[in-house]
Structure 1
Amino acid sequence: MLICVVGMPGAGKGEFVKVAREEGIPVVVMGDAVRREAERRGMDVGEMAKRLREERGMDAVARLVEEDVERELRRAGVVVIDGIRNPEELEYFRDRFGERSVIVVAIHASPQTRFERLRIRGREDDPDTKREFEERDERELGFGIGDVISRADVMIVNERVSLPEFREKCRMVIRAILRGDPDDLPGGFDHLRVPD
């Protein structure tokens, strides 16, 4: 089973990933593959993401991490994929691993909340200014991330909650997914919503 976590930068995907790891689930971070390729080519990460998709197609990053995903699936039977950015990547995984084997979890937070989080996080590719933040959002939306978010099986809202509360929401969702077939849940995952 693949649990694909998606969300705009700063929404809380990293915390979801930490909880997944605490639950013993291996994680493949698509952005790490882009960062490695950017470093290899001496390019900016954002430009590298764009270039990869221009050169190799919109599912390029999914293909870059496929071996990692397969290895972790063989080892653990479940893997979290962090960082799907477009419908083509999602479809690549669904085609490769089976429609019912892929669950999409979207993490949502407002732009203002995300901007503040990114400023605090301070990763190399995080924006320093509101303008840089907006440009990054536009780039992400241009990749098609909004389409993937709209197709999510589960939406977790990460707004006006403490970090421990958000992490508990993540844990509840992960455990619900791991309990079995989505049809075992009332209404399936399409109707599974974690309380605000």
Structure 2
Amino acid sequence: MSRLVIGLSGPNAAGKGEVCKYLNKKGFTVFSLSDILREIASKRNIVLSRENLILLGNKLRAQYGSGYLAKRLLKKIKSCDKIVVDSIRTVGEIKEFKKKFKDRFFLLYITAPKKIRFKFLKKRAREGDPKTYKEFLEIEKKECSNKKTQQQIHLCKKHADFFVFNNSSISALYKKIDKILLKIFNSFSDSKS
């Protein structure tokens, strides 16, 4: 099989990390745009809060273009056949991956109700995550801009090949991912016949 790239987008704490872990167990190599941003922030001695990462990402996109983080990540992707790219937050990033991988790139948009996502967020207890529901909602607004230089998670949804509504158990989420993988693999075998 030639290279397959699955991109993940969606709001904070919707289950993208769980999908990454699951796909990694299925032989996918996981890359994250957020990790690229964290590396840059660390080199600049910026505290790794969600707020600071959003501001840094917006600054970098304003300076270098909306696909900047994707271009940086593409330099790290070498000889992997099955790839997951986590944390796609702009249409510019989607365009970079589609330009590079063409019909081998599939975007999954993962979402869940806000209250469930806040519960997930509290459970994962990641450094820099908002502590209160009010802070969570404020950050949410900052992730949904119409400006090319800022996060556009709500616009990424329009470019998704598949939607995953994560409102149940982890096993239910995995079943949804398995169905999507089956569709993707079937589309490859259909195109060969």
Regarding TM over 0.5, the answer is yes
Query: 1:169 aligned to 164, 176, 184, which one?
Result: 176
Q: 1:74-89 to 2 correspondence within 5 Å?
A: 74-75=79-80, 77-89=81-93
Higher helix share: 1
Contact 1:12 1:107 in 2 (8 A): yes
Asked if 1:135 corresponds to 2:138, the answer is yes
For the residues of structure 1 that align with 2:27 and 2:179, how far apart are their CA atoms?
14
Aligned to 1:190: none
Aligned to 2:58: 50
Query: 2:166 aligned to 152, 158, 168, which one?
Result: 158
Show structure 2 runs of 5+ residues with no match: 47-51, 146-150
CA shift at 1:171, angstroms?
2.7
Contact 1:45 1:125 in 2 (8 A): no
Query: 1:35 aligned to 29, 34, 38, which one?
Result: 38
Aligned to 1:23: 26
Show structure 1 runs of 5+ residues with no match: 185-196
CA-based RMSD of the aligned residues comes to 1.7
Aligned to 1:4: 7
Contact 2:14 2:117 in 1 (8 A): yes
Q: 1:157 to 1:183 in 2, by over 3 A?
A: farther
Query: How many residues end up aligned between the 2 structures?
Result: 178
CA shift at 1:148, angstroms?
0.9
SS across alignment from 2:96: helix
Q: 1:180 to 1:68 in 2, by over 3 A?
A: farther
Q: 1:37-116 to 2 correspondence within 5 Å?
A: 37-43=40-46, 44-69=52-77, 71=78, 74-75=79-80, 77-98=81-102, 100-116=103-119
Q: 1:27 to 1:58 in 2, by over 3 A?
A: same
CA shift at 1:147, angstroms?
1.1
For the residues of structure 1 that align with 2:130 and 2:166, how far apart are their CA atoms?
20
Contact 1:26 1:78 in 2 (8 A): yes
| TM-score between the two structures when normalised by the length of structure 1 | 0.84
Q: Please give the per-residue CA displacement for 1:9-30, whole angstroms capped at 9, x wherever unaligned.
A: 1110011111110100111111
CA shift at 1:183, angstroms?
5.6
Q: Please give the per-residue CA displacement for 1:74-125, whole angstroms capped at 9, x wherever unaligned.
A: 23x2211111101111011111222x12111111101111111112211112
Which structure 1 residue ranges, 4+ long, deviate > 4 Å from structure 2? none
User: Which deviates further from its counterpart, 21-30 or 45-54?
Assistant: 45-54
* Structure 2 letter corresponding to 1:29: S
* Structure 2 letter corresponding to 1:176: K
Percent identical? 27
Contact 2:27 2:82 in 1 (8 A): no
